[in-house]
Amino acid sequence: MARLHICRSMLHRMINSSLGHRVERVFLGLGTKLNEDHRVLEVYECPNISKTPEVAFTADPECLYMVLLEAERRGMELTMLGHSHPAPPSPSMRDVENMKVWKRVWLIISSTTGDYAAWIYVDGEVRSVEVVVGDC
């Protein structure tokens, strides 16, 4: 089973940024990947420029580009795409379609409860990812 390793402080920052907001928040996690272990070492929040940000997200392309340049500069990769939902933390149909393109771990945070779950699209299906929260 795939695992997403993330610092407690980073996860709490994303949850706190999401709670109570009607607009979906967008987070990019940089780090490393080794086999089934995806490690997040840095988290960046990008503006959501979707025309319907209450139900969808589109990361600001300039922000995305800058984060990807930072990953390259530091020898890391994009290991996690995170966003919030004003609903339970499971992928929407739109998320699943995008997961087929962006084959990374997707962390979804409920902006109503703070609950979270992670998912990845592998071998034609969405699979649950274990979230391992640690101190950093």
Domain count, the chain: 1
Percentage of residues in the chain having pLDDT higher than 70 = 100
The predicted pLDDT at position 130 comes to 98
Q: What is the mean pLDDT of the chain?
A: 97
Per-residue model confidence as pLDDT tens digits over 71-120: 999 999 999 999 999 999 999 999 999 999 999 999 999 999 999 999 99
Q: What are phi and psi of 47, to 5 degrees?
A: -65, 145
- Domain hosting 68: range is 3-134
Calculate the alpha carbon distances from 109 to 2, 34, 71, 75, 84 in Å: 18, 24, 23, 27, 5
Calculate mean pLDDT across residues 116-127. 97
Calculate mean pLDDT across residues 62-66. 98
Quick check: 136 pLDDT over 90?
no
Quick check: 63 pLDDT over 90?
yes
Asked if 5 and 40 touch (Cβ cutoff 8 Å), the reply is yes
Calculate mean pLDDT across residues 64-70. 97
pTM attached to this predicted model:
0.96
Asked if 6 and 131 touch (Cβ cutoff 8 Å), the reply is yes
- Give 69's pLDDT tier (boundaries 50, 70, 90): very high
The predicted pLDDT at position 52 comes to 96
Non-local (6+) Cβ contacts of 106 within 8 A are: 80, 81, 82, 83, 91, 95, 99, 118, 119, 120
Work out the end-to-end distance of the chain between its first and last CA atoms, rounded to an integer number of angstroms: 23
Q: What is the CATH number of the domain that holds 34?
A: 3.40.140.10
Quick check: 42 pLDDT over 90?
yes
